[in-house]
């Protein structure tokens, strides 16, 4: 699978209608699940190497529409990884203290340290998404944020972080089905939010906000990938493949032991 096909080219206009939501990569569900398991095993090894190597850090930014599958993606992709080396940071409505600071303040503290993978479940991009759609700050303020964000992420890269950004791209029809499924099943009621229905009314505004986000903040060093998300099994496979590719590219190595181990006999 060529993950590069799903990468947003810097400087190219983005038209989200041209990006599939229901891609299957030419695979059946069973084939995809088999490949996913292989990739998951590789991720386990690569994560251990990242941890042992201690010289790199990986930040994965996840954004999506409501019901887009952020939680499910995180659950599936981190399955089997060593919890000591992976953290998930979820960004909710800002607290009063967070709102009293600049919008990157709460984010920076959660970026990965050496050997760590951090997954952002929502992120600083909310400050050009929900904030833009609902005009939570005036346009002259949010409009400047694309540049701030590019600079902030470049800082992370310059200081040794690999940044990979995943936009889970869902169709409006699939969102309706997922909302309906949550409504129909009492065990899923906890996931149903009346607020999601209100947000659905703003579907087109969100699509436009996502479009501009992809266009203005996908760079060579900090690319966005558009993940077709209507099929959960394809979504999981593609995300796993992207993470494996990113970690492979780091040329990770187990560090040599500082001591001479050759003559040691365990008694
Ligand atoms: P959930 O992830 O479903 O638990 O919902 C978190 C909510 O917090 C979503 O409605 C987000 O839009 C909202 N949220 C996250 N970050 C911000 C932000 N910076 N400003 C306003 N709302 C936010
Ligand atoms: Mg929600």
Of 69, 122, 199, the one to substitute when testing ligand 1's pocket (max ligand atoms within 8 A of C-beta) is: 122
Q: Residue 42 to residues 104, 142, 204: CA-CA distances in angstroms?
A: 33, 40, 38
111 is a domain residue: yes
Q: Which distant-in-sequence residues (6+ apart) come within 8 Å of 220 by Cβ?
A: 10
Would you say the pTM of this structure is higher than 0.85? yes
Distance 61 CA to ligand 1 centre (A): 14
Give per-10-residue mean pLDDT for the chain (267 aa).
Answer: 95 95 96 98 97 96 96 96 95 98 98 98 98 98 98 98 98 97 95 93 98 98 98 98 97 93 94
Distance 92 CA to ligand 1 centre (A): 4
pLDDT of the residue at 1: 83
Residue with CA at minimum distance from ligand 1 atom 4: 92
Q: How many domains does the chain have?
A: 1
Query: From the CA of 90, which ligand is nearest?
Result: 1
Distance 69 CA to ligand 1 centre (A): 15
181 is a domain residue: no
Residue with CA at minimum distance from ligand 1 atom 14: 93
266 is a domain residue: no
Query: Ligand 1: which atom is nearest the Cα of residue 129?
Result: 12
Cβ-based neighbour number of residue 31 at 10 Å: 14
Tell me the angle at which helices 29-53 and 232-248 cross, rounded to the nearest 10 degrees: 30
29 is a domain residue: yes
161 is a domain residue: yes
Backbone φ, ψ for residue 39 (5° rounding):
-65, -35
pLDDT of the residue at 173: 98
Report the C-alpha gap between 107 and 81 in whole angstroms: 23
264 is a domain residue: no
With tokens 């080396």, the residue in question is 85
- What CATH number did the domain enclosing 233 receive? 3.40.50.300
Residue 221's nearest CA partner among 170, 150, 166 is: 150
pLDDT of the residue at 224: 98
pLDDT of the residue at 3: 95
51 is a domain residue: yes
Question: Ligand 1 in contact with 130 (CB < 6 A)?
Answer: yes
According to DSSP, residue 136 is labeled: S
pLDDT of the residue at 237: 98
Query: Ligand 1: which atom is nearest the Cα of residue 127?
Result: 19
177 is a domain residue: no
Distance 159 CA to ligand 2 centre (A): 33
Distance 163 CA to ligand 2 centre (A): 24
Range of the domain at 23: 3-169+195-248
């Amino acid at each position: 699978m060529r993950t590069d096909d799903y990468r947003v080219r810097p400087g190219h206009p983005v038209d989200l209608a041209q990006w599939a939501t229901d891609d299957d990569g030419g695979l059946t569900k069973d084939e995809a699940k088999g490949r996913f398991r292989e990739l998951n095993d590789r991720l386990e090894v690569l994560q251990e190497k990242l941890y042992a190597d201690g010289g790199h850090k990986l930040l994965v930014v996840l954004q999506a529409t409501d019901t887009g599958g952020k939680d499910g993606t995180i659950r599936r992709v981190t399955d089997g990884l060593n919890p000591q080396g992976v953290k998930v940071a979820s960004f909710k409505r800002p607290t009063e203290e967070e709102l009293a600071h600049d919008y990157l303040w709460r984010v920076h503290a959660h970026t990965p340290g050496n050997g760590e993978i951090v997954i952002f479940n929502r992120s600083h991009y909310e400050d050009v998404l929900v904030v833009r759609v609902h005009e939570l700050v005036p346009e002259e303020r949010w409009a400047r944020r694309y540049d701030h964000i590019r600079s902030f992420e470049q800082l992370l890269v310059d200081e040794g972080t690999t940044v990979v950004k995943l936009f889970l791209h869902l169709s409006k029809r699939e969102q309706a089905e997922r909302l309906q499924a949550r409504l129909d099943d009492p065990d899923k009621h906890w996931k149903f939010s009346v607020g999601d229905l209100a947000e659905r009314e703003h579907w087109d505004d969100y699509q436009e906000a996502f479009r501009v986000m992809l266009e203005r903040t996908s760079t060579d060093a900090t690319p966005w990938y558009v993940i077709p998300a209507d099929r959960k099994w394809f979504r999981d496979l593609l995300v796993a493949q992207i993470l494996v590719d990113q970690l492979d590219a780091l040329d990770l190595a187990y560090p040599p032991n500082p001591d001479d181990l050759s003559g040691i006999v365990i008694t």
